[in-house]
Structures are given as structure tokens and as C-alpha cells.
Amino acid sequence: MKYSELFYTIQGEGMLTGVPSVFFRTSYCNLRCIWCDTPYTSWEPEDKSISVNKVVEEITKYNCRYVVITGGEPFLQAKELMVLCHELSEGGHHITIETNATIYADVSAHLISMSPKLRNSNPKPSNRYFEMHQRERIRADVIHKFLDNYTCQLKFVMETPKDLEEIQCLQLEIGIPNEAVVLMPQGISAKEIQSKQEGIIKICKQNGYRYSPRVHVDLWGNRRGV
């Protein structure tokens, strides 16, 4: 598989925040978010290779039940991902897959953590990836299928409270329940996150959404492998 890093930390976002987990970060993404916090998997992807067996071996060394497969976009390597999830499941691991929810495959996973990208993720219109990103970033059929088949959360990165309208349109179109919605502030520093969190918490209280901190940004800013 093409990957960029494998490390042991705590889950920093969403409903499993704080749970010690081994992260396996695949390389390559089919989107180009302007604020991507892992550009080494998307804008300038690293392409180290590792076999599925070796990934399982490395993960097993940590003696940790929880595994998070993230990216980039893990479902770009669907065939290998299916084998990896099967092997990890057989080994008794709890598997979360973090995805931009534009590609579907049947995998053995316990939580599908979708992060559909709003308009605030668009690159500048002059950028060569703008049209592709704008066209591909929301796949209602894929989100629907994950919701039908898995335990899911939908994490939305909010730039301003105005993003709420777009989230609610999506909810209506796809039938996303409020309990599955997780809102997080956009930011790559603790200061930036803090400046937005109060407004987002207010929206969560009004709508029954979950607020998620971004523990890694709070603690380590934009550092990798932590």
C-alpha cells in the first residue's frame, strides 16, 4: 500500500476522542482542500510502499485494540484496504476509517468517520484542481450507502457559522440524522481553533450536534506523527 506514516497516539477528534489508537495514514487523495492539514498525502503526496502483512505486523506491535486508518483517502486503495481491515478485524481490533466519503467499498470496519468537504474547502478558482475538487467533493450516494451499512459519524470542518446552511441542505438531501453530525473548527493552531469554538458550540446546542475538539492541533499545532 502507499502510505505516509504509522504511529501510536490518541484519537484527537470525534466520538472516540481520547482513545489510545494506532494511526495508519495512507497516501494520495482525490480531493485538494485548500486548508488540507496533511498536504504530504494530497497536494504533494509521499508514496512509500508497505505490504498489508507488514502493516498488520507493525500495528500489532503496539498491543492496542483501536486502529484508525486515515489519509489522504484510504478508499483509493480499496482492494488492499479490504484485506487490511479483514486481517485487523480477525485480530480483534476496533477499526475506524476516516474518509472524505467520495468512494465506497465493503470493508470490515466498526466506525466510518466521514468528513464531507464543504465549499470552504475549495481551492482558488484559478487553481488547476478547482473544478475537480468542486465536482467530486460531495457524493450523496456514497454517504447514503455508508449510513445504511455502518455505524457512522459525519465530521464537518466549519470556517464560519455561515457553513451551517450548507450542512443542513446536505442533511435534508441525504437524510443525515443530527446525532451523527460532528462539528469542528477549521484551524491549524490552538489560537485559530479557540477563536471559532464558541460560535460552533452555540450551533451544536441549538441543533443537537456533537462538538469535537481537535486535540492534536491544541497540543502540537501542525506537527506530524503525533
**Under the rule (CB under 6 A), what is the footprint of ligand SF4?**
29, 31-33, 36, 38, 41-42, 71-73, 100, 117
Beta carbon nearer to ligand SF4, 56 or 100: 100
Shortest Å, Cβ 86 to ligand SF4: 24
Looking at beta carbons only, is 36 or 84 nearer to ligand SF4? Answer: 36
Nearest CA among 214, 222, 143 for reference residue 184: 214
Give dist(CA 173, CA 31) in Å, integer: 22
| Minimum CB distance to ligand SF4 smaller for 33 or for 85 | 33
CA distance 197 to 75: 30
Written as one letter, the residue type at 38 is: T
Best CA proximity match to 33, nearest among 88, 146, 105, 115: 115
- Residue 76 is classified by DSSP as G
CA distance 20 to 112: 18
Cell 440524522 belongs to residue: 177
**Please, what is the minimum distance in Å from the beta carbon of residue 122 to ligand SF4?**
11
Q: Least distance from C-beta 57 to ligand SF4, angstroms? A: 26
With contact defined as beta carbons under 8 Å apart, do 81 and 107 qualify? yes
Nearer Cβ to ligand SF4, position 22 or 36?
A: 36
Minimum separation from the CB atom of position 31 to ligand SF4 (A): 4
Nearer to ligand SF4, 42 or 113 (CB): 42
Min. distance of Cβ 124 from ligand SF4 in angstroms?
A: 14
- Strands in 181-185's sheet, in edge-to-edge order, are 48-49, 2-10, 20-26, 66-70, 94-99, 111-114, 152-158, 181-185, 210-211
Residue with cell 497516539: 9
Q: Of 91, 78, 64, 82, whose CA–CA distance to 6 is shortest?
A: 64
> Is the Cβ of residue 87 or residue 166 nearer to ligand SF4 in the bound state?
166
CB of 210 to ligand SF4, least distance (A): 20
